[in-house]
Every structure is written in structure tokens, then in C-alpha cells.
Chain A
Amino acid sequence: MSTAIGLKCRECGSDYPKVAVHVCETCFGPLEVVYDYALVKRTLTRQSIESRPRNLWRYRELLPLDAEPSVGLHSGYTPLVRADRLARALGVRELWVKDDSVNHPTFSYKDRVVSVSISKALELGFDTVSCASTGNLANSVSAHAARAGLTCYVFIPHDLEKGKVIGSAIYGPRVVAIEGNYDDVNRLCSEIADKYGWAFVNVNIRPYYTEGAKTYGFEIAEQLGWKLPRHVVIPTAGGTILPKVHKAFKELREIGLVDDPMPAIYSAQAAGCAPVVQALHRGADLITPVKPATIAKSIAIGNPADGYYVLRAVRETGGWGEAATDPEIVEAIRLLARTEGIFTEPAGGTTLAVTKKLIEQGSIPREESIVVCVTGNGYKTLEAVDGAVEKPFTIGSRLADFEALYTQLGDGRRRRAALQ
């Protein structure tokens, strides 16, 4: 029996059946999946979850499928890394990195939302899937569509990183690059979704898609031993993941799987595209859209659909938000790599740079547990750090060539001095 009852408008409360519809006909508000939590509780326990395979479907009673999942059987359950060296660098006691840079199969948090939305699209009988994307989503939709044997069209801005473009094309979809920014792509896709009978995962399948993001929050709690951290820092682009991690924590408390108080949730944006953080700082409810200008292309959304719900979740939990400049983002990517051996894309750099800022300004206390949400992989966006790393030293193949270099670098002298 399905635990998902139907869809409900977040604004006016109108009810809808579980079909491919994402906007309330009355007020244009977003539709959200409603569950029967009494039914969820009957089968979803700590024990049942822990006995299931290590993928995102272990929380399936809190995901909106009626049938068995058909894709994403290896997605999710990514590492929650205790980051002690990074903690020392930031001067805090307890720091964790939730590392979706190694999500299966396309190395970003998007594999979660796509696993759920394409499984749902198949359930609803679609044969073509599509999306508007800044890259990661297109990669994930392309890969999952290939595995499911679906026809696939992905729409992206024309100026994405090469890794993001080839990282879609390799799976054989039609890749359509739009002369414009993500917000232009998104507007076009809303109109295409309206006209063609395709499953646009982040348009008409969006109520199901966004539910997949909750699994990121479920895993944080489970991996902390069914505890919640005190502070969680999350990047904000369209505004999907932050409110859904909030919802995940609420649901776990609702069904009694965790008892801890709600963590404070913080929004991280790039200074070149920070409409939500600006509204937060102004104390405003209305988000003024911006034209993005940042190296953090995966989160360059100037007109965030769910920005309003990010504001609400941040305010309700006593969190805050900050923006990081491009140089701060690059520096944070280097810091994470050099302290924890994790290579993230600029979105992850943004989140870490903002975490650092929030700690330094006293918004996050140094003695309480913090989770930094790393949602994407740096190998896809090499351009962003190309000028920020040491170039290789090219030498001949004789031992003498290396010895000359080693002497010149002075590494040996420094090492001996350090040992004395």
C-alpha cells in the first residue's frame, strides 16, 4: 500500500491526485506530496531501515512511489565524513561533510531527485524525460534515462563547463543549449512542458522530484546514529534542497525516529547570485530576481522557484545566510581538498566559504556540531580552479633531474628542519 496520499498546494491547501501536475490551478502555488504518517510509522523503523540496501530507497515509505522503484538502485547513501582537519582549520569542535560529490552514478546530489522523479515518470507512463539544468541535473537525467531506456532531452545554458556538457552528451540524450542564462532555460522549459507530453523532472514532475532531496537529510540523521546536528549549511540555487532537508528532519521527528531539536539551517549563495541571502539580510519576504555573474554556475539561478520556502525554513529554525565571492569560493575548494581530500565544485566551495564566514561572525558557535553539505564534484568543473593550483614541474627522466628539482624546491631542507 502506498503511504503517499496525494498532492496538496503549499499555499491554499487545495488537494490534487498523484498525477504529473506541479502548480495549483487556483493560486499557482507549488504542490507537495502528502503522506499518511500513521501508515509510514508502521513499517519504517530504525531497524527496518538499517536492514535495507544502502541506497536512497531505504526510506521509501517517505518517498512518493506507488510501485517498486525502477532507477537509482545505487544512488544515495553517500559518506558523512567526520572532518577533523577541516574543523581545526576553521577553529571548531565538531564538523561533518555530507559528501554527495561521490553520489552514484553522476557525482552530485541530483542523483537523488532524479532517481525518484524518473521512477515516478515511468510509473505515470511517460516515455520521454527532460529537464532544465545548470549541468548536474542534466548529467543525472541523461544517465538515468539511458539506464531506463527512455528518450531524453536536456536543456542547459550555452556557457557551461565542458565537463558538465560532455557529462550529459556521453549518455546519448539530445542536449539543447540555450542562448541565455538558467532562468531563460527554465522559462522556455515551462512552456515546452506545457506543450509537449514529456516528463520534465523539475517542472511537471517537480512535486515528486523535490521529495528525493529529503533523503540527503534522512541520511545525515541516520549516519549520526539517529541524531541531528545543531547546524547545517546548505547551498541555495532554485531552493529545492534546503526546505526539503528541513522537511526530512521534521518527518523523522514526526514519526519518532529522532528526538533531537531542529537544527539551525543556513543558506549559502555566491555573491554574484544571492537573491535569497539578500532578501534574508533585508528582512524581506519578496525575493528580487538577479542576473547571475559567478563561477558557481551550478547554483547560478537568479530567479529561484522555492526561494520563499528557503527564507521560511531558515527563519523558522533560527539559521542565517551569507554569500561568498568567487575568490573565497576557490579558496574554500582548495581548503576542503587539502584538509579532507574531497574535491568539490564551486557550489561546494560556496557552502564551505559561507560556513567559514558564519563561524567567524559568530552566527555558528564553535563548540556545536556542524554539517557542511557538499552537493557536487570538482572533477566536472576543472576550469574553476585551473589557475589556482600549482602547475606540474616537467623534468627529464634521470634521477639527477629529480634531485636538482628537489634541491631547488627546498622541500628536503624544510622537512629536516621540521624534524629537529
Chain B
Amino acid sequence: MAKVRIPTPLRKFTGGAEEIAADGKTVAQVVTDMEARYPGIKERLCEADGRVRRFVNIYVNGDDIRFLANLETAVANNDEVSIVPAIAGGR
């Protein structure tokens, strides 16, 4: 199981939990498993065509999946997947 960190806007789906466990060998599979456990959550993360929404960033062990293999990025047991709103920062 991977550990998935849930940002505030999605915690209404997870009963308020900041971190959940989800299964999968890739980020895509983890998202599918999250949807099975917490119905409705996938629609918030992904567009209708399955791509990650423009304002959502996903990290595996701190690395942005856009520098890895996007949704096909491999996830191992105990990896930390972070979902972080893209809107932050200035300088």
C-alpha cells in the first residue's frame, strides 16, 4: 500500500483524513483504488479524459510525476504520494 497525503479541499471525501492508504503499482492505479474507497475523489483530480487536472500536482516521494512518467509513474509499497494544489507560491 502507498501512503497518500490528502489536501484540505479533498478531505470531505476521506472523512477528514489527512493521509490514507491506497493500492496500486502506478499512480493511475492508486487513483483508481482511491476512487473505489472514496467515490467521487477521482473526478476532482482528473479531467474526463483521465489526465491530471491543470491545477493539481502529484508527487511520489517528493518528486513531481511530470518529471517522471506522469500517471504511469511507478509506486512501491510504503511510497508517499502527495496531492498538492498547484496554486501556491510567488517568490
Residues of A at the B interface (CB closer than 8 Å) are 11, 22-30, 110, 113, 131-137, 180, 182-184, 186-187, 189-191, 193-195, 200-203, 206, 209-210, 237-238, 240, 286, 288-289, 291, 298-299, 301, 303-306, 308
Complex contacts, B24 vs chain A, CB 8 Å: none
Contact A27 to B90, CB < 8 A, known contacts A187-B62, A191-B82: no
| B8 partner residues in chain A, CB cutoff 8 A | 194
Q: Are A22 and B88 in contact (CB under 8 A)?
A: yes
Contacts of B5 in A (CB 8 A): 191
Distance of B6 from chain A, by nearest CB (Å): 9
Contacts of B9 in A (CB 8 A): 23-25, 28
Within 8 A of A (CB), among B4-63: 5, 7-9, 12, 18, 44, 53-57, 59, 62
Closest beta carbon of chain A to B48's beta carbon, Å: 12
Does B85 contact A237, Cβ atoms closer than 8 Å?
no
Q: Give CA–CA (A286, B70) in the complex, Å.
A: 14
Task: Write the nearest CB–CB distance from B69 to chain A, whole angstroms.
Answer: 14
B91 A301 Cβ-Cβ under 8 A: yes
Contact: A184 with B67, CB < 8 Å? no
The size of the chain B interface, using a CB distance under 8 A, is 26
Please state if A134 and B53 are interface contacts (CB–CB under 8 Å).
no
Task: Provide the residues of chain B in CB contact with A210, threshold 8 Å.
Answer: 90
The answer on a CB contact under 8 Å between A23 and B85 is yes
Given the interface pairs A27-B55, A289-B64, the reply to whether A305 lies near B88 with Cβ below 8 Å is yes
Q: Is the CB of A187 within 8 A of B91?
A: no
Which residue of B18, B59, B64, B89 is within 8 Å of A132 (Cβ)?
B89
Chain A residues whose CB sits within 8 angstroms of the CB of B82 once the complex forms? 187, 191
Smallest Cβ distance from A189 to chain B, in angstroms?
7
6 closest A-B pairs by CB? A202-B90, A28-B55, A23-B85, A30-B87, A186-B89, A25-B9
Name the residue on B nearest A11 (C-beta). B55
A308 pairs with B54, CB closer than 8 A: yes
Q: Which residue of A lies closest to B12 (CB)?
A: A25
Residue of A nearest to B84 (CB): A190
CB-contacts of B75-91 with A (<8 A): 82, 84-91
A193 CA to B85 CA in the complex, in Å?
12
Select A29's contact among B84, B87, B88, beta carbons within 8 Å: B87
A137 touches B90 (CB 8 A): yes
User: Chain A contacts of B86 at CB under 8 A?
Assistant: 28, 303, 305
Set B12, B54, B55, B91: member contacting A238, Cβ < 8 A: B91
Q: Taking A132-B89, A187-B84, A238-B89 as contacts, is the C-beta distance between A289 and B67 under 8 angstroms?
A: yes
> What residues of chain B lie closer than 8 Å to A194, measured between beta carbons?
7-8, 18
6 contacts between A and B (CB under 8 A): A135-B91, A194-B18, A201-B90, A202-B90, A206-B87, A289-B64
Interfacial chain B residues near A187, Cβ < 8 Å = 57, 59, 62, 64, 82, 84
By the criterion CB–CB under 8 Å, are B90 and A238 in contact?
Answer: yes
List 4 extra interface pairs beyond A22-B88, A28-B85, A189-B88, CB under 8 A: A132-B90, A183-B64, A187-B84, A305-B87
